[in-house]
Copies of this chain bind each other. A is one copy, B any other.
């Protein structure tokens, strides 16, 4: 089947495509209520979209009196690829044009192997999704990487945990390999877009999405649009200082949030607790596996292990300290917590909330929900599909 070649010709068509993406099939009358166009002008734009093949007429709309008309929906054969590259794993999913996940594969992966090896694996996973019959090809792909990205060019810039990726032309290279348009962004921004499209942030205009995985980052959404900053490094909160004379950090400073709490800091601290004999549960897990991860701490804590619980609470306090400052500064309508360590669940959330509600001013926290993300690892891949669809559903 031919892939998407057309793009919306104007802002009205772009708006119609996004309405159909976010709200599914609409009758012409329903579309008319949502866009500011005369009936005849709307008919012209819809007919043009039908001609391009981007939308189809499909099924009869419910009668509203008068002649029944066909529903309009996005072409059912359109397929987007969402790719979320983490530090230690990669998620690849295929969605339809309404960004519903049709298939989703997760595999372990080490980002430090560099872009060539990682993309070989990603392409292999994409082929598997095709082979399963979910897609004949892709109309576009959105990729997230765990570091800052020069957004217009889709190139990682000085990413601290991604040696070998600095300046690699991700967008250009993957676009050639996949044969479709590609957009690249920071993984945290993808998570924010995913939760905005299909998760807990659906109705939020201005919100923060804090991802705690191997590192810690923050997606910033202003007026329903991701804010990326002047050089694409906005949201890089892992190196905000939480302890004036704290632990040394890989960045060269002392007391950074990431040095005190993140997936890797938590594993390090848990191993120390185990070695010092302060937790029989963690010691047993360390003896069995040779190393510990955030998941071990989560499991120990859910079994009531006090040392594990204290590690989580201390991490939550440090994270909450940084979020408290961001809440005072940014006055968001919602804070979403996501990423690998959300397995730590409500113990972590409670510690973060306590710190924020104690430390930020009441005016900023009065109606501020602080919640876990709803989508888990699907947030990043849905965000990837959203990223490329935002691009493709814009005037050419």
Contacts and interface: CB of A to CB of B under 8 A. Distances in A.
Interface of A: 148, 157-158, 205-206, 218, 220, 222, 227-237, 239-241, 243-244, 251, 253, 321-322, 324-326, 328-333, 358-364, 366-368
Nearest to A363: B233
B331 A229 contact: yes
Closest 4 CB pairs of A and B: A229-B331, A234-B331, A230-B333, A240-B325
A148 B236 CA distance: 27
Nearest to A160: B361
A186 to B, nearest CB: 11
A218 B326 CA distance: 12
Contact of A158 (B222, B362, B367): B362
A324 B241 contact: yes
Given A230-B206, A231-B367, A321-B241, A218 B329 contact: yes
Given A237-B328, A329-B329, A329-B330, 15 more contacts: A206-B227, A206-B229, A222-B222, A229-B331, A230-B333, A230-B368, A233-B361, A236-B328, A236-B331, A237-B325, A237-B329, A241-B324, A244-B244, A251-B361, A325-B325
A236 B324 contact: no
Given A325-B322, A331-B231, A241 B359 contact: yes
Contacts of A253: 358-359
A326 B232 CA distance: 14
**Which of A148, A329, A368: most chain B Cβ within 10 A?**
A329
Contacts of A333: 230
A116 B119 CA distance: 67
Contacts of A328: 233, 236-237, 239-240
Contacts of A366: 231
**Which of A222, A229, A321: most chain B Cβ within 10 A?**
A229
A237 B113 CA distance: 41
Contacts of A231: 331, 363-364, 366-367
28 contacts: A158-B362, A206-B229, A218-B329, A220-B330, A222-B227, A229-B330, A230-B333, A230-B368, A231-B366, A232-B363, A233-B361, A234-B330, A234-B331, A235-B329, A236-B329, A236-B331, A237-B329, A239-B360, A240-B325, A240-B329, A241-B324, A241-B325, A244-B244, A251-B361, A253-B358, A322-B325, A326-B329, A329-B330
A328 B220 CA distance: 12
A369 to B, nearest CB: 11
